[in-house]
Structures are given as C-alpha cells and as structure tokens.
Amino acid sequence: MTNETPRYPVISSDPDVQEFYLQRRKAGESHNMAEMLALRCGPRVHGTDSGFMRGTNGKKWISQLGNKNDPRAWVSSADDLRTEVKRRGWSCEGMVNVKGAKQDIPDPQPYRVADDLVEKEVARRVEEDPGLAQRTKPDVLRESVREAISPANVGMTA
C-alpha cells in the first residue's frame, strides 16, 4: 500500500473556497458533500430554474428553437422551454426532459429498382446469353432480374 496523498479536483478559483473543500475532504467528507459545503449551495437538480438559468439575467436564447430574432427561441425558465418543446411536438433530453408525441410512421415501401435499370440489365444478360430471351417469358425475366439487382439480393444471380 502506498502513502500517496489523494488528489482532489479544483472546484473553485477562489482559494478560500478551495481550501475549505480540501479541509472537508481530508476530514472524511465525500466529494459531493464537501463541494456543497464549500460552495454553499445544494446539488444542482436537472430541470430546475436555478440550474437551467444559472449565469443569466432574464431570458436565455436556445439556438435549437430558432435564431435570435425569434421570440419563441428565448425562454425565461425551464418550464418555458418545456412548454415550447411540447408545443412543437419535439423531444428533449438534458437539463429539461420532454418526451415528444409518438408519431405513426407508416412502414416504408420496399425499394423497387427503376424500370430503366432493369431493362439495361435484361439487355446485358440477353446479350451474354441470347437463348435466355427465348427460354424465359419477358415479364418473368424482368421480375427475376429486378429481384436479383435489388439491394437485399445484390450479389445473387437470376
């Protein structure tokens, strides 16, 4: 076991506050408790106005809500932000948490290779094997080629 002195984080640029923090840690306090005692403030709680508006006077511009000319992009509390995010039907995570409205997104249509690409590939395959056009009905040949060149089947042959 080493006799190395523990290293503590710097919690303040004020030397008196930092010294008080170090004294509390050396006396056995946890980091969180020593920090709260030294800074003389309770823990920061997500979603509270004191944490959200720290360092501002009045309103706070939220760039994700709009440019600085948009009055709805300026909020005066966490509740203002929560209200605006809900009004827009958005989700938000961080100092303020809002679950957006669940949207019914239709199942995507399967990708269908364009007809001109299918025709080019059919022509290429018939040129390689002229008997292919005689052995296979045109509609069947086109659909087998379309399926073969679809993204899920790339690398497979018809």
How does pLDDT run across 9-18, given as a tens digit for each residue?
Answer: 888 888 998 9
In this prediction, residue 46 carries a pLDDT of 54
Q: Which of 21-30's residues contact partners 24+ apart within 8 Å by CB, and which partners?
A: none
User: Is the separation of the CB atoms in 37 and 54 below 8 Å?
Assistant: no
The pLDDT score that the predictor gives to residue 44 is 60
* Cα-based distances in Å from 70 to 38, 49, 53, 91, 93: 40, 22, 19, 20, 22
Kindly state the tokens that stand for 119. Answer: 């025709």
pLDDT at residue 1 is higher than 80? no
Residue 121, classed as helix, strand or coil, is helix
**pTM for this structure?**
0.39
Percent of the chain's residues with pLDDT above 90: 40
Rounded to the nearest integer, the mean pLDDT of the chain is 84
- If you count them, how many residues does the chain have? 158
Domain ranges of the chain: 8-43, 49-88, 115-153
pLDDT in tens, 20-58: 999 999 999 999 899 889 888 776 655 567 667 776 778
The residue-averaged pLDDT of 99-104 equals 77
Predicted confidence band at 19 (pLDDT cuts at 50, 70, 90)?
very high
